[in-house]
Amino acid sequence: MACNDENEPLLSGLATPRTQKTNGDRPKKRRFRRVRSAPFADFVPTDGNREAALPRSGSIFGRLNPSLKKVALFLTLYMGLGTICFYTTRTQIKGDKTNGILDALYFCVVTMTTVGYGDLVPNSDLAKLLACAFVFTGMALVGLVLTKAADYLAEKQEILLVKALHMNQKVGELQVLKEIETNRVKYKFYTTLIILVVLILTGTIFLYEVENLGLVDSFYCVCSTITTLGYGDKSFSTEGGRIFAVFWILASTICLAQCFLYVAEVNTENRQRALVKWVLSRRTTNVDLEAADIDDDGVVGAAEFVLFKLKEMGKICQQDISVIMEEFENLDVDQSGTLSVSDISEAQSVETRMP
């Protein structure tokens, strides 16, 4: 998180830290290495059963996440209500029709994904108002719910992708998890891109074989569909084609949106890493030491230097530090400037006594 507060002190209002000393005035040297709660520490195998420690992707439908259950519920409600509404107003919708219920479901999906081929169009005030209502609620459903589900499913397949990329190498579970943690967004992009290519090929072949379109027209229809252009000169016109389109349009449009989202995230992540590399590689000057000296005692401790570098990298700002310091002061019951087990226990007991 970056803030425009380069000239503000990092820890405003912080009491002068007590320096531990030994043998006269010589400060005791402390070295900070690594926080124990590392991001991937929870996945490190702790017993002999190493296979059980690694989260398995398996089938994406093997164990349905609670959030996916919620997504399935919202999608079912939307599609069910939309199908009922558009089926009851089917006489007020003109265009190329096949089966009443199927056309209503197909029109609902085309409306939700904003593809809008034009092969089925509302032809009355009621049908038009229903289309307006369902296009907005459908876009909200795609943006707020379905994209999160797609992101979750992409994460579930990351381990399989990393293992496939290192198939000819002897890579342990911990190395796989570290690789995913380091390049999470990049592997999400690769996973989504592979799925998108499969969907494009599947849609092209289906249109060529079932809808009897030419190869170029099939690919053209696929591209105009997944980008939600929906020119309307080529679309799904058979019963079998519309059954396929109900699932394929929804999956392909969301997949393309996620793919572009991950491209933007990868670009942002690369710029952030370039900034971090520059901050860590440049020489520290006297001006930097003066800026990093929080308590103005003429020397920069390890904590002060780390905070200064993190702020330079744009990872923290004054607001973040103020919130953390407020929590520290609340936990530091005896006002000693340090935290101990007794401080935590006493702070918890105070919280339980509060009404």
pLDDT tens figures, 219-265: 999 999 999 888 888 889 899 999 999 999 989 998 888 888 888 88
Q: What is the pLDDT of residue 268?
A: 81
- The helix/strand/coil state of 93 is strand
Q: Is-contact 223 164, C-beta < 8 A?
A: no
Answer yes or no: pTM beyond 0.75.
no
Q: Look at residue 27 and tell me if it is in a domain.
A: no
Q: Is-contact 87 107, C-beta < 8 A?
A: no
Q: In angstroms, rounded to a whole number, what is the distance separating the alpha carbons of residues 49 and 56?
A: 14
Range of the domain at 265: 66-277
Q: pLDDT band at residue 190, thresholds of 50, 70 and 90?
A: confident
Average pLDDT for residues 149-175, to the nearest whole number? Answer: 61
- The helix/strand/coil state of 31 is coil
Cα distance from N-terminal residue to C-terminal residue, the chain = 35
pLDDT tens figures, 61-100: 445 455 677 778 888 899 999 999 999 999 999 998 989 9
What residues contact residue 206 under an 8 Å CB cut-off, 6+ apart? 241, 244, 248
Q: Look at residue 37 and tell me if it is in a domain.
A: no
Structure tokens belonging to residue 227? 């980008």
Least confident of 69-83, 129-143, 171-185, 250-264: 171-185
CA–CA distances in Å: residue 263 to residues 140, 187, 196, 260, 268? 22, 11, 14, 5, 9
Q: Which of 216, 248, 277 is the last residue of a domain?
A: 277
Q: Is-contact 119 235, C-beta < 8 A?
A: yes
Q: In angstroms, rounded to a whole number, what is the distance separating the alpha carbons of residues 204 and 32?
A: 57
Task: For residue 192, give the CATH number of its domain.
Answer: 1.10.287.70
Q: Are residues 270 and 328 in the same domain?
A: no
- For 161-184, b/e burial (b = at least 16 CB within 10 A) is bbbeeeeeeeeebeebbbbbeebb
Q: Are residues 84 and 144 in the same domain?
A: yes
Q: In angstroms, rounded to a whole number, what is the distance separating the alpha carbons of residues 268 and 83?
A: 41
Q: Are residues 271 and 337 in the same domain?
A: no
Average pLDDT for residues 126-132, to the nearest whole number? Answer: 92
Average pLDDT, the chain: 76
Q: E strands, the chain, where?
A: 93-95, 120-122
Q: Look at residue 259 and tell me if it is in a domain.
A: yes
Q: What is the pLDDT of residue 130?
A: 92
Q: Are residues 263 and 190 in the same domain?
A: yes
Q: Which of 246, 277, 308 is the last residue of a domain?
A: 277
Q: Look at residue 218 and tell me if it is in a domain.
A: yes
Q: Which residue has the higher pLDDT, 46 or 231?
A: 231
Burial (CB count <10 Å: 0-12, 13-18, 19+), residue 20: exposed
Average pLDDT for residues 337-350, to the nearest whole number? Answer: 81
Q: In angstroms, rounded to a whole number, what is the distance separating the alpha carbons of residues 318 and 11?
A: 7
Q: Which residue has the tokens 């989260």?
A: 55
For CA atoms 301, 306, 307, 308, the dihedral sign is positive
Q: In total, how many domains does the chain have?
A: 2
Q: Look at residue 31 and tell me if it is in a domain.
A: no
Q: Are residues 207 and 329 in the same domain?
A: no
Q: Are residues 244 and 106 in the same domain?
A: yes
Q: Are residues 231 and 133 in the same domain?
A: yes
Q: Are residues 210 and 147 in the same domain?
A: yes
- The helix/strand/coil state of 24 is coil
Where is 275: in which H helix or E strand? helix 239-281
Dihedral angle, C-alpha 108, 109, 113, 118, nearest 10 °:
-70
- The helix/strand/coil state of 271 is helix
Q: Are residues 226 and 329 in the same domain?
A: no
- The helix/strand/coil state of 135 is helix
Q: Which of 215, 250, 277 is the last residue of a domain?
A: 277
